[in-house]
Structures are given as structure tokens and as C-alpha cells.
Structure 1
Amino acid sequence: MSGVRAVAGFSRTVADLAVTEDFYRDALGFERIAPPEPVPAAHIEAMGLAGVKARQLRLRLGRQTVTFVAVEPAGAPYPADSLATDPFFQHLAIPVRDMDAAMARLARLNPTTISRGGAQVLPASTGGVTAYKFRDPDGHPLELIFFPDGPPAERWRDAPGLFLGIDHSAITVADLDATLSFLTGPLGLAVAQKGLNRGPEQARLDGIDDPEVDVIALEPPVPAPHVELLHYRRPAPRHASRTGFGPADRASTRFVFAVADMGSLLAALRQAGFAPRASADGQAAYCAGPDGHGFLFVKA
């Protein structure tokens, strides 16, 4: 067994912690856990950030945590011409109690939009959710999502507030089979749902023309938040992979997994052909997935 227990949170590289806090607090209701602080030494070592100044700001939305990391010297900015089909795309999906109210609060900060024509109601065949995609000040994508019924709605029914938490993070992948093998093999996640999304509503949601995208949800033993894969059959991605981006670059968002047995996980990753980097004290490790998406593992 890999020892992966849950998605403990997310880590996202940004330019300015104060600007980031203002946006996530005022637009989305995030709350500060602690003032800006140095990134833990084990995380620095695992992510290969030795020699840079790295500070973090931990924010909470409901029961979920996002750690924002700023580094000096700064890495590459988020690509200005990015699309949902690019393999470095990774959004955080925030369930909301009332989409109109959430959109009204978000509009006060006038973020860069991804979706065309506002929030989109997807067909019942693809879940019937209402969703809207936009970007934070660094260009990172985010999604508001309203679940009308079913298990997802029930999961968030008792969460307080307008913005309820983080349901999942979705990554765009070029090699679907390789990513599925990575997540279900050494990481031990289970495929929970598969679908194929297309049509005008999906086009407006993603801000691209005529998309056809495989949407696959995978769950760790603790199911929320979970991982979602987006594999675009069309249009073809303009970039073959995102391996050029690392933790210092602002196109980088990382899953943070809580791990019970770090040694077993590292052995499983190496056996599967990956090259994780672990801290000397065994408290953290980092590995890039098949398309370069970052995975930070922390000892539970």
C-alpha cells in the first residue's frame, strides 16, 4: 500500500502574498490560518527550492486549506495566452450555496474571466451542475460550482457560508492512461466517476470552441477533496506538456497528500519509474506526475 490517506490541501505559487490574500478573502471568503511564515525546511528540500527565499501564507475555506508560496528570485510568470487545454492547467473547484450571490460577490473584484456568458448550466447527462471559471491575480484558474442534488450536494449540505470549501482540483492531462496509472498505482486512488463532456455549454464554460473532454474523478480513502482529470480529445492542446514549470514558477499548483507510510510511497513511486525527491528527515517528498503536475507528500 502507498500510504496515501487524503488530499490534505493544495499549494499554489504566487507573486505577492498580500495581493493573493486580499483576493481570496474578499472574493471567495477564505480566512487566514496564520500570518506569512517561512516555508518548512522539509518542504523546501523536497520541492528543490534550496537557495531561494520562500514564504507561505496558509488560508482556509471551510475545512480545506490552500498554502500560497512566494519565492525570491521569482520563477516564470503564468503564461498569458493559456487555455483549459494546456497541460499546466489546474483549477480549484469551490462549491457554492447560491451561484447568483457568489457571482455578485466575485464581480466586485472584476477578475479575469475564462467562461463566456457567465455561469453555465451543464446538461443533466454531465451532472446538471452550474459552473463558472475565472482566474486569480496571478492567472491561476478557479471554478465556482453549484451542485443541484445527488451525493455531491449532500456532501456539502451542512457546510456553512456562501463558499463552502474545495470540492476537487482538476488537472488537464495530455496522456490520460499514464496519469491514471500514476494515480491508481503508486498513489492508490480509486476511479469514482467517468464522463464525456461536450456541447455549447461546455464550450462557454471552458472558453474554447467545440470541446470534447473526458472528465474522470478519482478519490483517495478520504473522498473530499478529490482529484479530477480533464483530457481534451478536441481541440488539441497547443503545448505537449507542462514539464517546463516547477514549484518556483507561477503556473505551478500542487496537490498536498497526507501520507501514513512515506517509505512505502517512495518505493512505489520509484518502482513505477518516477523520481521523487524526499527531505532528509522523511517528513516530505515531491514528485511530478506524467504531465508535470506537482504532488507534495507530507507525513501524516
Structure 2
Amino acid sequence: MEQIIVPVSDVARTEQFFHLGLGFTSVDHGAFSGNGFAHLFGIRAARAKFVTMRLGSDEVVFVQYTRPGKPYPAGSQSPDLWFQHFAVIVSDMDKAYAALRQVPFAPISEGGPILLPPQNGSVRAFKFRDPDGHPLELLSFPKGQGRAVWHQSDDKRVFLGIDHSAIGISDTDRSTAFYRDLLGMTVAYQTVNRGSAQERLDGTFNAVVGITGLRPTSPNGPGIEFLDYFTPPTGRPAARDARSNDLVQLELRLAVDDLSATVVRLHTAHVAFVSPDIVELDDGRRAAMVRDPDGHVVWLDQEAAQPS
């Protein structure tokens, strides 16, 4: 995954939150405009300013639209199918939680960081919301768990990078077919989390959730994690009329080797498109934007050809 795109109501406030509370560094400021951008995101005459922030080698682009959309849905819960967060990996959960408490946030998890049981990896985790209501997670892997990059002995930072973006789904097989068979990702792990620790982590009574992690073809960058709640069966579907300037609509930017062939597969599978098809952006890239089976949005990107 190249980047995670997050719509925000105040890009300056967001930049301060992620820098002071989560250790991100700003690497670019700019603006989106032009016909290609408007068609890709499906918003007529769309204009926006953005800040790109980096943690380790991973990037998130926070976008503030000139014409804002809807606020984040009130009363959102983890089983809701619009749920989407990204997991920030930390080397020391206590130090990370102390840093986070220096900025305003809304907790999702009950009682601070949660230690999951051995059958769920003995990881420590804490879920919370940023000032716009987007859910986020701090995650600390014990030795032997997670990707090797999170256990480099010479890395003394507290906040290390982004492991994955987790998305609420309604059918694991259907979502796997989309991300694996159509987009070429690989299933890396599967588990079922349940019990009191999971309930406190999610702030959801009686939580039983099937978790499937997928990795892109590149060994670098965040993966995608499915959250398929078996109970409680109260997850609400995502609004099909959500747009890129609505705060609920995050976008995952994935690189593909052959965008034309990928788009043909997606059309053949009757996947819903946000963009009319492939569009050309001002920087020369060709891109398309589609929705997965539960409405989450994926930006498919191909680098412009290099001069010979």
C-alpha cells in the first residue's frame, strides 16, 4: 500500500494532533485541483489542500476539501461496516499512551491499553478517535509476533510505523475474493478474537470477530485487515452515497503494475467505480478509484512511464 488518504475538517489541527500525539512528521504540503483529480474522486470542481505525514517509511495524506462533506457518523461502533482505522505500531505501549494523552482524543477501548490473551498473540492494543472521530489503534507486538520490521534492535523510536488499515466487512470470503483475486494481495494470517479483553478493546459487549490480514505484493508498506464481526450482529452498512469529502470515507492507495488489465478485471467482476474509469492526473499518473464489496474505497495507481 502506498498511502492512506484521510479526509479532515481542519488540516492544521490534524497535523498538530498526529505530530504531537503520535510522532508523525510532515513531509509535504500542497493542494489537489484540476479535472483529473475531480474525476478520480467523483466530485465536480473538487479542490482541497493536504498535508502528507510520515511515520517510519509509511505515509498518510490528510485532505481538507474546500467544500466539506458530512461529519463522521455519530454513535459509530466497531461492528459498523464503515469502520476503518490504521494501526500505529509502537515499541513501548506505556510511553506511547503517555504521549497520546498530551493531545485531545476520545477513547474507544475501556480502561487504557489492553493485553490480549496468548491465543490472540499477547499483543497490547488501544483504540481511540482523533478530533474528527476517525478510529485509530496503537499496537505493540511482543517478540515473535508481527513483521520483522517492528523488531529491529537498533530502532529506539516509540512510534515505528503503520502495520495495516483495518476495515469492517460483512463476508470474509467475498472480501478476500476482491482483494486477493482481483487486486493480487496475499492472505497472511487469520484468527478469531473473543472474550473480555476483546470486548474492552473494541468497547463492544459480546464481541467475537474474525480477523484476516492481507499483504500487498510489495514487502513494504501497510497491509489490509478484515474485521468480520460474528457477534454482535448489529453492524450497520456503509452509506452508498458517501463521497470523498465526507469524513467517513478513507481511501487506500494501492500501486498496480498494469492498471489497464486490473480495471478490465474489475469491470468484468461488476465492481462499483468512483471514477468514471481510468483518469490521467496532472502529474502524469494514471489512476482509478473503486469500492470494495462493503463500500470501502481503493485508489489504484500506476506510475507514469519513464522516458527511454
Task: Count matched residues.
Answer: 294
Q: Deviations over 1:180-225 (max 9, x none)?
A: 1111111111111110000000000000101000000011112441
Normalising to structure 2: TM-score of the pair?
0.91
> Contact 2:213 / 2:226 at 8 angstroms: preserved in 1?
yes
Matched AA of 2:101:
A
Greater shift, 245-254 or 86-95, is seen at 245-254
The residue aligned with 1:246 is 243
1:160 Cα deviation from its structure 2 partner? 5.1
Take 2:18 and 2:230, find their aligned partners in 1: how far apart are those partners?
32
Matched AA of 1:86:
D
- Does residue 116 (structure 1) correspond to residue 110 (structure 2)? The answer is yes
2:29 alignment partner, SS class:
coil
1:143 alignment partner, SS class:
strand
The residue aligned with 2:306 is none
1:152 alignment partner, SS class:
coil
Matched AA of 2:91:
R
> Contact 1:14 / 1:69 at 8 angstroms: preserved in 2?
yes
- Does residue 280 (structure 1) correspond to residue 279 (structure 2)? The answer is yes
2:36 alignment partner, SS class:
helix
Take 1:43 and 1:77, find their aligned partners in 2: how far apart are those partners?
22
The residue aligned with 1:271 is 268
Greater shift, 157-166 or 94-103, is seen at 157-166
Q: 1:187 is matched with which residue: 179, 183, 189?
A: 183
1:155 Cα deviation from its structure 2 partner? 2.1
Greater relative contact order (Cα < 8 A, sep 6+) = 1
- Identity rate of aligned residues, in percent? 36
Q: Deviations over 1:103-149 (max 9, x none)?
A: 00101113100000110010111111000000111100110000002
Take 2:179 and 2:83, find their aligned partners in 1: how far apart are those partners?
17
> Contact 1:45 / 1:279 at 8 angstroms: preserved in 2?
no
The residue aligned with 1:23 is 17
Take 1:128 and 1:240, find their aligned partners in 2: how far apart are those partners?
31
- Does residue 175 (structure 1) correspond to residue 174 (structure 2)? The answer is no
1:139 alignment partner, SS class:
coil
Unaligned runs of 5+ in 2: 304-308
Normalising to structure 1: TM-score of the pair?
0.93
Unaligned runs of 5+ in 1: 1-6
The residue aligned with 1:66 is 60
1:242 Cα deviation from its structure 2 partner? 3.8
Q: Extract structure 1 runs of 4+ deviating beyond 4 A.
A: none
- Does residue 210 (structure 1) correspond to residue 206 (structure 2)? The answer is yes
